[in-house]
Structure formats: structure tokens, C-alpha cells
Structure 1
Amino acid sequence: MTPLPDHLRQATRARTQETEQRARTALTELARAGKPVTFTTVARQAGVSSDFLYRSPELRTQIERHRAKAGPAPAGPEDPQGGSSTSAAVRTLSARLTRLQQAHREEVARLRKSLEIAQGENLDLRRRLARYEAD
């Protein structure tokens, strides 16, 4: 693998630093506001991936420290707009998918039955034609 040119390495480093700064700012804002500090909430607030936060040792340590101070996580979702709407959307889409699958199964069964009937009629007509041509 060829090494990256200097200008690309510098751009990558600058982008990473800017992303880390956004994450630190989001972490500080959440802590000051008294909101729960989790990898998900920090990632959402900063506009970064939670994977980025997990891979950054400094940010990971800070987030884990804030989570430990806050105590055990509540059983329900903290953000009624985020968590429950996502679950509701998943449930709605799952129900819709189930209905579509059932409708497709019924249609396939109906089409198979129609095909069997058509093949039977075709076979009957061929037999009649064969008797007619034999005479």
C-alpha cells in the first residue's frame, strides 16, 4: 500500500480533530444541561458515529466516566421522539411487511392454482387434437 500524500494526511488529521472537537462540545453541553451522557446521545448531538466515539480512547473514557456518575441507565427510552418513534416505525414497517408477505403468498397460491387449471386444459386440448388428427 502506498503512503498517503502529505496534503491528504493533513486533511485527514484536520477532519479528525474537528470531529473530536464537536464530540467534546456535545459531551460538555449534555453534561451541563443535565441530560444523559451516552455514546448514542453524544453521537447524535455531535453528528458523528458512535463507532468514532468508541474508537477514540479519550472520548470513550470521558463518556464512560459521565455514565458511571449518572448511575444505572433507566429502563425506558430517554428521548421519546428518538427511541419510541424508532420502535413504532419498526413495528409499523414490520406489520406492513407481514401483510405484504401474506398477500404475496395468497397471490402465488392463486396463480399456481390457475396455472394448474390452464395446464390441465392445455393437456386435454392436445389429447383431443391428437385423436382428431389420428382419424
Structure 2
Amino acid sequence: MTPMPEHLRRAARTRTQEAENQARTALAELVKAGKLISFTAVARQAGVSTDFLYRSPELRKQIERHRAKGGSASALPAEPSGDSSTSAAVRALSARLTRQQQAHREEVARLRKALEIAQGENLELRRSLARYEVD
């Protein structure tokens, strides 16, 4: 596997940094407004996924700390449904990817068979042409 070019790595780091900044700003706004803190609330406010928040150790700690301060925020029913909808989306995308992979495998097999036939015909035509050529 070839390594990712530096300009793409920089762009990915920049995107991640911007998303982290958006999440921090959203968390601060929710805290300032006195709203209950949850991963789902922060994700919605910041425009990022809950998965992104869970995978970012620093953001995760901050959200969990604020959520624990709020007490009832940790018992929000919205968070499990946010996770299940994320999981449902992942499952749907995985199923779609599996179907596409199977379709591609079938197409590759069909094309390989067609190529074998074409190569066989090509070989047969070259042999018959060689019989008629004069040296």
C-alpha cells in the first residue's frame, strides 16, 4: 500500500483540527447555556459525528466530565438512540458495501471468462493465419 501524500495528510489534520475546535466551541456554548451535556448534544451543536467525539480522547474526557457534573445528563435516553442510529447507518453502509463487492466479484469473473475466450480466439486466428503466410 502506498503512503498517503503529504498534502493529503495535512488536509486531513486540518479537517480534524477544525472539527475538534467546533466540538470545543459547541461544548462551551452548551455549558454556558446551562444545557445538559451529552455526546449527542455536542455532536449536533458542532456538526460532527458522535463517533468522532468518542474517538477523540481529549474531547471525550471533557464531555464526560461536564456530563458527570450535570448529573442527569448521563441518563439521557437520546444518547443510546444516537449510538444505535450511528450503528444502524454503519450496518446499512456495510451491507451496501458487501453487495457492491459481490457484484464487482461477479463482474470480474465474467470479464475474466470473456478475456479467456477472446485470447483463445486470438490464438486460433494467429495459428490459422500462420498456415497461410508464405515464408
Q: TM-score, normalised by structure 2?
A: 0.57
Identity of aligned residues (%): 51
Larger Rg: 1
Write the mapping of 1:1-135 to structure 2, written as runs, cut at 5 A. Answer: 19=25, 21-26=28-33, 28-30=34-36, 37-38=37-38, 40-44=39-43, 46-47=45-46, 50=53, 54=59, 60=62, 63-64=64-65, 66-67=67-68, 70=71, 78-80=79-81, 82-134=82-134
Cα distance change, pair 132–83 in 1 and its aligned pair in 2 (3 A): same
Unaligned runs of 5+ in 2: 1-20
Shift of 1:23: 3.7
Change (3 A) 1:21 1:70: closer
Residues 1:66 and 1:29: Cα distance change in structure 2 (over 3 Å): same
Q: What is the aligned-residue RMSD (CA, Å)?
A: 3.9
Aligned residues: 105
Greater RCO structure (CA 8 Å; 6+ sep): 2
Residues 97, 48 of structure 1: alpha-carbon distance in 2 compared, 3 angstrom cutoff: closer
